[in-house]
């Protein structure tokens, strides 16, 4: 979390709560996915580690976690428009996802246990 100096607070003419509804519209679905995926691993006793908003997982930073046998990493995007990600868009983001997953897999202490 980024710390904001107290001296800079209150200098804006815009309310700090103005952007909150928009931010929550993305966070609520994201946290719902986290809760569902991680809860299952936690109650089964398989969860090894979990990190949210992980700076070590560039494109898959929303929900990286590992069990003893598997490494999982997710990037959650949500749209109120209901339009699915097209093939061309998927092809654009896939290399970044693969690079991020490989980075997580190869980082010391980050891959699934062997």
Residues 61-84: pLDDT tens digits?
677 888 888 888 877 776 667 777
Helix (H) or strand (E) holding 24: helix 20-43
> Does 49 have pLDDT greater than 60?
yes
A 10 A CB-CB count for 14 gives 7
The mean pLDDT of 99-107, rounded to a whole number, is 80
CB 93 within 8 A of CB 59: yes
Please, which residues bridge with residue 63 across strands? 74
Least Cα distance to 48 among 70, 15, 25 occurs for 70
3-state secondary structure of 26: helix
């Amino acid at each position: 979390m980024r710390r904001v100096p107290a001296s800079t607070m209150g200098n804006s003419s815009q309310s700090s709560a103005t952007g909150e509804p928009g931010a929550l519209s993305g966070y609520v679905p994201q946290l719902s996915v986290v809760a569902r995926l991680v809860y299952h691993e936690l109650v089964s006793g398989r969860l090894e580690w979990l990190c949210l908003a992980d700076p070590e997982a560039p494109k898959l930073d929303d929900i990286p976690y590992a069990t003893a046998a598997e490494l999982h990493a997710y990037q959650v995007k949500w749209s109120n428009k209901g339009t699915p990600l097209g093939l061309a868009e998927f092809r654009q983001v896939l290399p970044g996802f693969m690079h991020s997953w490989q980075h997580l897999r190869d980082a010391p202490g980050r891959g699934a246990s062997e």
